Structure 1
Amino acid sequence: MIVVFGATGTIGAPLVTALLAKGAQVRAVTSDASKIDALKSQGCEAVVASFDDPDALAQACAGAQKAFLVTPADLDMRSWKANVIAAATKAGVKHMAISTGLGASPKAGLTFGIWHSESQELLKESGMDWTLIQPTYFIQNLLWQAGNIAANDVYLDDLGGPISWVDARDIADVAAVALTSDGHAGKAYGLTGSQAVNGDEIAALLSKATGRKIVLQHVSPTESHAGMVASGMDPAVADAMVQLSGLGPKGYLAGIETTVSDILNRPARSVADFITQNSAAFKS
């Protein structure tokens, strides 16, 4: 049994699908009771558990041999991961793969890198076998702007530099391999796409996919922070997001890792293909 925490999220949802396709027994965990039936319809177990509920987390881990853990970017993400790691350890889970972030390490100079590193070190100290899944920016984040792009023909760029965007489905596929085959314990997998794409290139791809001229509009760090806070994000998390995006103009988010192709024996999914496949979302 493989238990997937965050089973309805950007990584967790395709991971459940990928694991079931491999014939694995899956227990999907969500905090949203309204999503239980949809999860069960895929052929997996499904349970409700809040990251703040140790008893529910313990029940979710019962009888599982392996686990995958991902949480939203939140001020409580470290305590949430600590709760799951503790529950899994107590339940006798043997191997956990945890999604953190590219560059997370004890020496990280960024807030997210430090937060993720704390969780990684906690997992390493748990006694479980571990695999670190460390992605960069998700291509799926482009869909956050679908409504604005469709309505205003504007792509808002708060990154200001080339980004080696990675598809969350590739992250899920790598995690599925790590949890269903040997040789992945004790490994840290940095995950990116196969090329770095800047804002001008994304606007051009959106223009081609929609048949309309999509204009690039740069967003300042101050505007970006204000927008995130207005959407409900904790100011401290927004600070960390702005700090991370500030690496974009320096080219520090453009590095390429070959992990996806190395593990999956196929090319990483591209930004161009993603935009083409989701062109309807940017039109309506």
Structure 2
Amino acid sequence: MVKLSDWRADEGLSPIARLHQPVEQALVTSGLSWTILPPDFYLQNYLCQPSIREAGEFSLPLITAPMSFVDVGDIARVAARVLATDGHHGRVYDLTGPKALTYAGAAEEQSDVLGRPVRYVGLQDDEARAAMLSRGMPEFHVDALTGVARAYRDGGAETVTSTVADLTGRAPLGFTDFLRRNRNSFE
């Protein structure tokens, strides 16, 4: 069994991690052959930011530390490799992109790729909560995302691993290449 999990779920640092944590524990003690894949922040979360196109900015709960964003395609390739080959039982493979970026650094890269200014607006938790609720996000989702921001605000998601390349034989997709590939979503 291959379990897609959450970054550092074993530590239960955020509401999302606390949902994954008991599932991981049950899997480990189940007697089944298992592998756990905890990815860091998804690159595809940027596709849920229409304000990049509309206003040249994106606002999220304040996180000042770098995060190693990973592409869902890379996660899928790792999962396929683990399912199709032997030697992965009892392994936890932390999945990251090739480098860690702050949200401000991500905005700079977006500016370079798009050829126009993009800025990150870090919102305090109450402001972020109100903004997400006003966009129609479910309360549980809003509280979970705010909890993730609190957990990683000052660090803890900056680790970069070689796991994607080691298991798939190809480097993980970087942020700039992700932006180029999805440029039409931001223009």
1:154 aligns with 2:57: yes
Gaps of 5+ in 2: none
Relative contact order higher in (CA < 8 Å, ≥ 6 apart):
2
1:245 aligns with 2:139: no
1:97 aligns with 2:26: no
Contact 1:102–1:136, Cα closer than 8 Å, also in 2:
yes
Corresponding position of 1:217: 121
**1:234 offset after TM fit, Å?**
4.1
Instruction: Describe the superposition over 1:57-89 as per-residue Cα deviations: whole angstroms up to 9, x where unpaired.
Output: xxxxxxxxxxxxxxxxxxxxxxxxxxxxxxxxx
Measure the CA separation in 2 of the matches of 1:237 and 1:216.
21
1:118 aligns with 2:22: yes
1:199 to 103, 112, 115: 103
Query: 1:246 is paired with a residue of what secondary structure?
Result: helix
Measure the CA separation in 1 of the matches of 2:150 and 2:29.
32
Measure the CA separation in 2 of the matches of 1:260 and 1:163.
16
- The residue type equivalent to 1:173 in the other structure is R
Compute the TM-score of the two structures, normalised by the length of structure 1.
Answer: 0.61
1:142 aligns with 2:49: no
- The residue type equivalent to 1:136 in the other structure is D
Contact 2:60–2:128, Cα closer than 8 Å, also in 1:
no
**1:181 offset after TM fit, Å?**
0.6
* Structure holding more strand per residue: 1
Contact 1:247–1:253, Cα closer than 8 Å, also in 2:
no
Gaps of 5+ in 1: 1-95
Query: 1:137 is paired with a residue of what secondary structure?
Result: coil
Measure the CA separation in 2 of the matches of 1:151 and 1:231.
15
Compute the TM-score of the two structures, normalised by the length of structure 2.
Answer: 0.89
- The residue type equivalent to 2:2 in the other structure is A
Aligned residues: 186
Cα-Cα RMSD: 1.9
**1:265 offset after TM fit, Å?**
2.3
Relative to structure 1, the CA distance from residue 133 to residue 254 in structure 2 (aligned partners, 3 Å threshold; closer, same or farther) is same
Measure the CA separation in 1 of the matches of 2:136 and 2:32.
35
